[in-house]
Structure 1
Amino acid sequence: MSRPVIISCAVTGSGDTTKLSPYVPVTPKQIADDALAAHEAGAAVVHLHVRHPDTGAPSRDITLYREVVERIRDTGSSVVINLTTGIGARFSPDDEDPNRNAVPGMALPYDRMNHVLELKPDICSLDVATMNFGKHAFVNTPDHIEQIATAVRAAGVKPELEVFDLGHLALARHLHGKGLFEAPPFFQLCLGVPWGAPATVESMQAMKYMLPPGANWSAFGVGSQQFPMAALAVILGGQVRVGLEDNLYMAKGVLAEGNAPLVERAARIVRELGASVATPAEARKILGLAP
C-alpha cells in the first residue's frame, strides 16, 4: 500500500500579500470558503490566520477567528483545523529608543492563544523561533513557548512546532525532553524564509536528522521553492504544506487563483511519487489527534 501523505494548506498568512495578489482571502467568509475549496482539492489540514476585513492587515480579533471556524464547522466538513498563534511576536526597535517597538506587534502569550483556548481547533501552530524575519525580529522566548504549549495541551489542542533553523530544533528537542509536548510531536520545517534555513536539499535533510525519534514532520518552501520542497518532503518521508501564505504563484508571473490550484498540484506531486493523498481521518490517525 502507498504511504498516505498529509497536505496542509496555509490559506492566507499575515504577510503583506494582499497588495500582490487579488486571490489572497481577507474576509472571514473568503478565508473559510477558500479553506473548504483547498480541502476539496486534497488538503487534509487547513492552517488559518485572520485579517482585518477592511485593510487586509493581520489581526488577532477573536470574533474573526470565531466566524471563520464556525463557517467551516457548520458545513460538516471533516477537515483538520489548524489556527496560528504566531501573531504578536514581531519586534522592530525604535530608532530613538531601542527598548520600544517602533510598530505595535508584540503581545503576551495569552493574547496570542486566547482564540485557540476558546475555539479548540485540532492543531495550533507554535513558533519555536527567535530570528531575523525579513526586516524585523521574530521573538519567541522559551518561557513564552512553554506557557503557550502548556495551555494548549490542557485544552486538548496539538501544537505544530514551527522551526526555521537548526537552533530552533535544538530548543524544541530540549522542551520535548522535558515532557512539554504530547507524543508524537509534530514539526513543521519552514524553509526559505528570510533569514532562516534556505530551501535546499541539504537544509531539509539536516533538519530531518535532528528530529526526535518518532516525531511527525512536514515541510514547506516559500515562493518558487514551494513545489520542489513539497516533492522533497514526500521523498524523505514527511508531510507537505502549500498555500498562499507561502507562495502566490503557479509559475513565474502566473498567479494562483486561490489555494485550491496549489493544493491540486501538490496532490499530483504526491501521487506521481507513489504516495497517496491523506484524508482527514488518515491525518488524524497519523498525528495522534482525536477522531
Structure 2
Amino acid sequence: MAGGTGRAPRATLITVAPTGAETAKADCPALPVTLDELVATAVACEAAGAAVVHVHVRGADTRPTLDPVVLRDTVDALRERTSLVVQLSTGGSVRDGYDARLAVLDAQPDACSLTTGTVDFGDDVFLNPWPFVSELYRRSQDAGVVPEFELFDLGHVERLHRLLDGHGAPHGGHVHCDLVMGVPGGMPGTAAALVAAVQALPQGATWSATGIGRTTLPVALAALSAGGHLRVGMEDTLSFGPRRPVRDNAELVERAARLAELAQRPAMAPAEARGMLGIEDRTTAIQGGAR
C-alpha cells in the first residue's frame, strides 16, 4: 500500500525496538541494556515473530551511548546470534551531537533510522535540521545502509519527498517508512492521522506504524487494517494493559504476531524482510569479497 492505494501485503513485517534512549534501567529492571541482555532479547523476539531489531545501545553505566566500539560490537553480536535485520538508531538521545549520529553508519548495520525533521519530544526537542538530514541520507547511500524514514508528523512526509527528489532513491532502491505516532509534540496516535500520513507517502513506499504508550494497540490495529506493518517494543511502551507492566519485549512481539495472524497477514521472516527492504546479507557479501 503506497500513497493510500494498492494491495495489502500478504505478510507483516514486525520490528522490535527493545530499549530506546529514554527509560532508565533503575525505573524498569526488565529493560535490556547490556549486550548480553540485548542479544538474548533479540533471540527471543525473532522466535516470537520479529524480523527487524531497532537498536539503541547503552554503556557500562547503562546510560545511552553512541560509542563506536559498543555499536560495532552490538552489530557483530546480533549478526552472530540472529538472522534479524539489524537497524541502528541514528537518533541516539535528544542530547547527542550530529557528528556522533553520523558516525553510527561506520558500524555497518543493515539499516538505520533516519528522521526527516525536527519534532518536540515531550519537554525536549529532537533536532533534525535539513543540512544534517541531507548529509545523513547521502552517507547512508555511500555506506550501503538502507534507511528507514522515521516520520513523526505530516511535515516530515513532505521532507521525505524533498529528500528523495533532491538525492534520489535510498540504497537498495526501496522506500520504507515508520510512522511514529503518539509522541507529545508529534502526530496523534489515531486512525485518522495514520490515514492522512499514508495517503501522503511516496508512491510505491511501504510503511510501518509505531504507537507510543497508550496508542500502541489502536495504532497497530489501524496499521494492519490499512495494509501497513508494525513496530513494537519497550522503547515505545512499558505497559501491556491497564495497570499491567510489560513482562519483556518478546511479549509485545507475540501480541503483534497474533494480531497479524488475525488479519490473515502472518509475521514475515527476516529473509523475506530483507527482500522487501532491499537489504543484502552482509555476511554473504563479506565472505564473497564485496563491501
Q: TM-score by structure 1 length?
A: 0.89
Deviation at 1:53, TM superposition (A): 2.7
**Cα separation, 2, equivalents of 1:138 and 1:107:** 11
Instruction: Please tell me whether the aligned partners of residues 14 and 267 of structure 2 are also in contact (alpha carbons under 8 angstroms).
Output: yes
Matched, 1:81 2:86: yes
Deviations 1:225-278 (A, max 9, x none): 212211211111111100000011211222222110000000000001111110
Structure 1 residue 21, shift from structure 2 partner: 1.8
Map of 2:4 onto structure 1: none
Residue 37 (structure 1) aligned with residue 44 (structure 2):
yes
Report the TM-score, using the length of structure 2 for normalisation.
0.89
Give the aligned partner of residue 101 of structure 2: 112
Tell me how far apart the structure 1 counterparts of residues 169 and 39 of structure 2 sit (CA, whole Å). Answer: 29
Q: 1:122 aligns with which of 110, 115, 120?
A: 110
Counterpart mapping for 1:138-287 below 5 A? 138-182=126-170, 183-287=173-277
Looking at structure 1, the residues matched to 244 and 163 of structure 2 have their Cα atoms a distance apart, in angstroms, of 42
Runs of 5+ unmatched residues, structure 1: 91-104
| 1:3 aligned partner | 10
Equivalent AA in structure 1 for residue 66 of structure 2: R
- 1:168, CA displacement in angstroms? 0.8
Match of 1:58 in 2: 64
Residue-by-residue CA offset, 1:75-99 (whole Å, 9 max, x unaligned): 2x211100000026x3xxxxxxxxx
Shift of 1:47: 0.3
Moved over 6 A (4+): none
Deviation for aligned residue 1:2: 7.3
2: distance between equivalents of 1:61 and 1:106?
11
DSSP 3-state at the match of 2:83: coil
Paired positions, count: 272
Query: Secondary structure, in 3 states, of the residue corresponding to 2:167?
Result: coil
Q: Does 1:28 align with 2:35?
A: yes
Structure 2 alignment gaps of length 5 or more: 1-7, 282-291
Post-superposition CA distance 1:49-88 (Å, at most 9, x none):
011232x32111122222222222222x211100000026
Contact 1:2 1:276 (C-alpha < 8 Å) held by counterparts: no
Per the alignment, do residues 2 and 177 of structure 1 end up closer, same or farther by CA in structure 2, a change over 3 Å counting?
Answer: closer
